[in-house]
Amino acid sequence: MDYKSSLIQDGNPMENLEKQLICPICLEMFTKPVVILPCQHNLCRKCANDIFQAANPYWTGRVGSAAMSGGRFRCPSCRHEVIMDRHGVYGLQRNLLVENIIDIYKQECSSRPLQKGSHPMCKEHEDEKINIYCLTCEVPTCSMCKVFGAHKACEVAPLQSVFQGQKTELSNCISMLVAGNDRVQTIITQLEDSCRVTKENSHQVKEELSQKFDVLYSILDEKKSELLQQITREQEEKLGFLEALIQQYREQLEKSTKLVETAIQSLDEPGGAIFLLSAKQLIRSIVEASKGCQLGKIEQGFENMDYFTLDLEHIADTLRTIDFGTDEDEEEFIEEDHEEEESTEGKEEGHQ
């Protein structure tokens, strides 16, 4: 392993060194003893033994073994076939250089603060820590699940790299959500401003509408007062004429009543001479009183006031059609109403 060139390529030597010390099986830092394969790749002896046992289930072991030969397995990094003797993985050479580098690295990292919380363990292998991430199933798991378990055929990656990737993705999502929240807040502010402006505009047009209707009310009240005054003047003229006529008839009635009383008293006179002295004049007075009864009279329908009746139905219809619109719509409505009136008048003249 060319550790020097690998360290030079990366700006952070410690992080790059840690990557070089990761076992391809357990995806953790090599656990001593570290063995080197003929292809120059390194494995933890425990991990090498696990994959060797999995590839050679009938191998009985090096101690007290009756096997005449070892077994074989493939390097997990390059798939090179490794042929073992009867000693199995214990016949592989230890990589003391890597072990020394691990010791130095751990000494350098001893000053790092410990992370809080306990490390989660695998449910299937209770003694194994969750140290890898299955990219196929998208779940964290342990190295034993990769070697022997449900994720044997899956593609895996170091937990730390996936952790950093998803942490970055989550940070990006948070930033995106915060930006989205800012946009939503901006929209809410704009909508609140729209609500406020809508209320202000509504209040303004309500005030304008009320003022216009107040003008109409004022015109109607003024016209109403004017027409009521006309009716009142006509009423006073007619009542004045009638009351004067009644007074004339009362005076005439009073004279006639007195004349009747005088005539009755004259009829009671026993002497003919005395009766004749006043009878002639009395008869003449009665005849003149009878002629005087031809006083003023009123014509038929004199008390009628129907000529003050107004036909306001067309005005009421116009008022009912009042609605919000442009001046052009109002002008068109006035023109249509005028044409309808002319058409109605033409039909009435035709009937006549």
Q: What is the pLDDT of residue 301?
A: 86
Q: Which residues are paired to 81 by β-bridges?
A: 74
Q: What is the pLDDT of residue 174?
A: 79
Q: Identify the band that residue 199 occupies on the pLDDT scale cut at 50, 70 and 90.
A: very high
pLDDT in tens, 306-332: 888 888 899 889 889 988 875 555 555
Q: What share of the chain is helix, strand, coil (3-state, %, to 5)?
A: 60, 10, 30
Task: Look at residue 2 and tell me whether its pLDDT is greater than 50.
Answer: no
Q: Identify the band that residue 197 occupies on the pLDDT scale cut at 50, 70 and 90.
A: very high
Q: What is the pLDDT of residue 294?
A: 66
Least confident of 34-38, 54-58, 290-294, 312-316: 290-294
- Average pLDDT for 288-293: 68
- Average pLDDT for 238-258: 88
Q: Judge contact between 132 and 140, C-beta under 8 A.
A: yes
Q: What is the pLDDT of residue 326?
A: 56
- Average pLDDT for 288-317: 82
- Average pLDDT for 167-184: 82
Q: Is 27 helix (H, G, I), strand (E, B) or coil?
A: coil
pLDDT in tens, 81-137: 888 888 888 888 888 888 888 888 887 766 554 444 466 777 777 777 777 888 788
Q: What is the pLDDT of residue 343?
A: 60
Higher pLDDT among residues 282 and 3, named by residue: 282
- Cα Rg for the chain, rounded, in angstroms? 63
> In this prediction, what percent of the chain has a pLDDT beyond 70?
80
d(CA 265, CA 199): 95
Query: What's CA 75's distance to the chain center, in Å?
Result: 62
- Mean pLDDT of the residues in the chain: 78
Q: What is the pLDDT of residue 31?
A: 85
CA angle 250, 253, 255 (to 5 degrees): 115
Q: Identify the band that residue 224 occupies on the pLDDT scale cut at 50, 70 and 90.
A: very high
Task: Look at residue 211 and tell me whether its pLDDT is greater than 90.
Answer: yes
Q: What are phi and psi of 325, to 5 degrees?
A: -175, 180
Q: What is the pLDDT of residue 105?
A: 81
Residue where the block lists tokens 């990769």: 146
Residue 338 belongs to what H/E stretch? helix 327-351
Task: Look at residue 338 and tell me whether its pLDDT is greater than 70.
Answer: no
Report the b/e string of 60-71 with b at 16+ CB within 10 A.
eebeeeeeeebb
Q: What is the pLDDT of residue 152?
A: 72
Q: Identify the band that residue 69 occupies on the pLDDT scale cut at 50, 70 and 90.
A: low
**Which residues are within 8 A (CB) of 259 and not within 5 positions of it... i.e. 6 or more apart?**
282, 285, 286, 289
Residue 43 belongs to what H/E stretch? strand 42-44
Q: Judge contact between 305 and 231, C-beta under 8 A.
A: yes
